[in-house]
Amino acid sequence: MYLYAPPSWKLVRQIVLDVMVLGWCVGWWFVGRAADGVVRGIAGQARYTEELARQLQRNVDEAAQAAAGVPVAGSALRAPFDGASAAIGRLVSNQADLALQLETLATWLGWLTFLIPALLVLPLWALYRARFWLESAAVARLIDRGADTALLSLRALTSMPIRRLESIASDPVGAWRSGDRAVIDRLAELERQRQGWPRRKPDSSSVRPPAG
């Protein structure tokens, strides 16, 4: 599989695009982590308030138990402390629920802050890269089978600027129709270079050792 084009401007564009996409995703990851951290900081304050309330509740409960030990008036003295402990218990419960909700919100906010921007870019990048991989693999199969270059030259005729075609031949279409091998090969090579596809491998059978 050809992940990248041979050394060319096409390869430069591919690398720059990959680096930009990677930077985009990494940047939004850190933004998501920052958003998660901000909300978790608020949740931490709720946890801190919860812990203070628990400590206060324990102190009130201890005072209630001490008041209950007073002869005769123990029950009456304990009642206000029990009421205060119950109220503090509700505060503890509310703060615990608030902290849990904020921690859940932090998790979702962090992931969504990262995923939404990333998913706006990654499918387009994957489509662009997959198209190159598939086309380069198809061209490589044609080359490996020793297929004629007329198909690539035809693509060059239909996609390259007219000014560029005129630099190859005064009548590139006529040359292609007449089977001018030099023009056909030149068009195919230019199209291969422009798209960053693999080049034709040298035929080892045609290479003869020097006469000794």
Query: What's the pTM?
Result: 0.66
The DSSP-derived string for 88-155 is: HHHHHHHHHHHHHHHHHHHHHHHHHHHHHHHHHHHHHHHHHHHHHHHHHHHHHHHHHTT--THHHHHH
pLDDT at 108: 95
- For residue 38, give the 3-state DSSP assignment: helix
Lowest-confidence pick of 28-32, 53-57, 112-116, 119-123: 53-57
Report which of residues 63 and 160 the model is more confident about: 63
- For residue 202, give the 3-state DSSP assignment: coil
Q: What mean pLDDT comes out for the span 150-169? A: 70
pLDDT at 144: 62
pLDDT at 1: 54
* pLDDT tops 70 at residue 148: no
pLDDT at 147: 56
* pLDDT tops 60 at residue 200: no
CB 98 within 8 A of CB 46: yes
The mean pLDDT of the chain is 80
* pLDDT tops 80 at residue 154: no
Q: What mean pLDDT comes out for the span 155-181? A: 71
CB 176 within 8 A of CB 208: no
Percent of the chain exceeding pLDDT 90 equals 32
CA separation, residue 49 to residues 42, 56, 136, 153, 201 (Å) = 11, 10, 62, 74, 72
Nearest to 99, CA basis, from 57, 58, 39: 39
pLDDT at 168: 74
Q: What are the pLDDT digits (tens) for 96-110? A: 999 999 999 999 999
pLDDT at 146: 53
CB 25 within 8 A of CB 60: no
| Separation between Cα atoms, residue 28 and residue 34, nearest integer Å | 10
CA separation, residue 83 to residues 27, 35, 89 (Å) = 52, 40, 10
Give the DSSP letter of residue 191: H
Provide the pLDDT confidence category of residue 143 given band limits of 50, 70 and 90: low
Percent of the chain exceeding pLDDT 70 equals 76
* pLDDT tops 80 at residue 197: no
CA 138 to chain centre: 27
Report which of residues 74 and 38 the model is more confident about: 38
CB 67 within 8 A of CB 77: yes
CB 102 within 8 A of CB 91: no
Q: What are the pLDDT digits (tens) for 24-42? A: 999 999 999 999 999 999 9
